[in-house]
Structure 1
Amino acid sequence: MSSVTVTTWSLEQTSPADLLPAAAPDGDVRIVRSEVPSPEFSRFLYASVGGDIRWTDRLSWSYDRWREYLERPGVETWVAHDRGTPAGFVELDPQAEGVVEITYFGLLPAFRGRRIGGHLLAHGTARAWDLAERWSGRAPTKRVWLHTCSKDGEFAMDNYLRRGFRLFDTKVEEEREAPAPGPWPGAYPGARPGA
């Protein structure tokens, strides 16, 4: 298997005032918190959003590992719905000392390019800033951070910067190149069975 050079950028906000809003998309787009931990639903979102951009680190997780992760106090999944259909998600993972990581964020391929992403990222980041209000015993959020890489969508970095995130670290590594898994073979746009 060949290797590919992957650049990973880490970005942060250190104040709620850093967050820059995004225009709401046209149509009936709603963002709601998935309050009942559901390994099945979270795995669906992960595989469907990340399948064509090679998210693979959680594909081998067992049901129990998903459940344990999702049931950790403060872990939240916020889901954008377009006319009732899941369009994308943002996952928040609180860490020590008032830090919240946006561990995953993205849209299913059919919903990209429709201004939903900026709206969802702004909403999810705002929920990272006010996370302690929903979880007793949590320290107020002092920092929100995330990472993106050169395998992510072409507009990902621009979206993060337009929402007020600032770059604080860059790493370049060689990774084994793997085919995009998709939620099932041939599911992502441009894929052909047997290709």
Structure 2
Amino acid sequence: MSAVSIYYLSMTSPNQLVEKVEAKGLSVIEAEIDEYRLNKYLYQLVGEQWQWQDKQHQSDDAWKAYVESPALKTWVAYYRGTIAGYFELKSDGEGCTEIAYFGLAPAFIGRGYGGYLLSQAIKQAWAIEGTTRIEVNTCSLDHEAALKNYIARGFQLVREEVSGS
């Protein structure tokens, strides 16, 4: 198994956001009704190519409990009626909101949508009452531009860990 670098990032003020405002036709809409099958589908659609595995074998009951948690909010990005990506925000109730999952569907990678979608995720995270810090992590298995996008939007690298070898 190859070593995987995990990058932990944080933002402590809304003023740190370097927003990308060009939507390029994307609509980002909150999924206001909890439907675990949607989140499960989005996780597979976006995460399969990046080897997301932490939720891959969870039961439907575990997915349901995860999605129906009042601490979790989901947004879906659409382009001309097609799912282009999504993000999930998870609040710990103590000031930290995590971008739990974030990404684009395979057909939409490389079209310049990532910066706008991440800007929307950050703005929505700051809009959650009580948020004083936003956290996100990425790893060397994710898209090569992922870490650059987080830093370009204003996140600061807090620490890096290497697992496996």
CA contact (8 A) 2:46 2:105 kept: yes
Give the secondary structure class of the aligned counterpart of 1:97: coil
Q: CA deviation at 1:25?
A: 3.5
Q: CA deviation at 1:83?
A: 0.5
Give the secondary structure class of the aligned counterpart of 1:23: coil
2:11 to 10, 13, 21: 13
Q: Which residue of 2 aligns with 1:154?
A: 144
1:22 to 13, 20, 23: 20
CA contact (8 A) 2:71 2:92 kept: no
Q: Which residue of 1 aligns with 2:52?
A: 55
Q: Which has more radius of gyration?
A: 1
2:65 to 53, 64, 68: 68
Q: Which residue of 2 aligns with 1:126?
A: 123
Q: CA deviation at 1:5?
A: 0.2
Q: Which residue of 2 aligns with 1:145?
A: 135
Runs of 4+ in 1 over 3 A off after TM superposition: none
Q: CA deviation at 1:64?
A: 1.2
Q: CA deviation at 1:86?
A: 0.7
1:111 matched to 2:108? The reply is yes
Identity of aligned residues (%): 39
Q: Structure 1 unaligned runs (5+)?
A: 133-139, 176-195
Q: CA deviation at 1:166?
A: 0.2
Structure 1: which amino acid aligns with 2:142?
A: D
Structure 2: which amino acid aligns with 1:143?
A: R
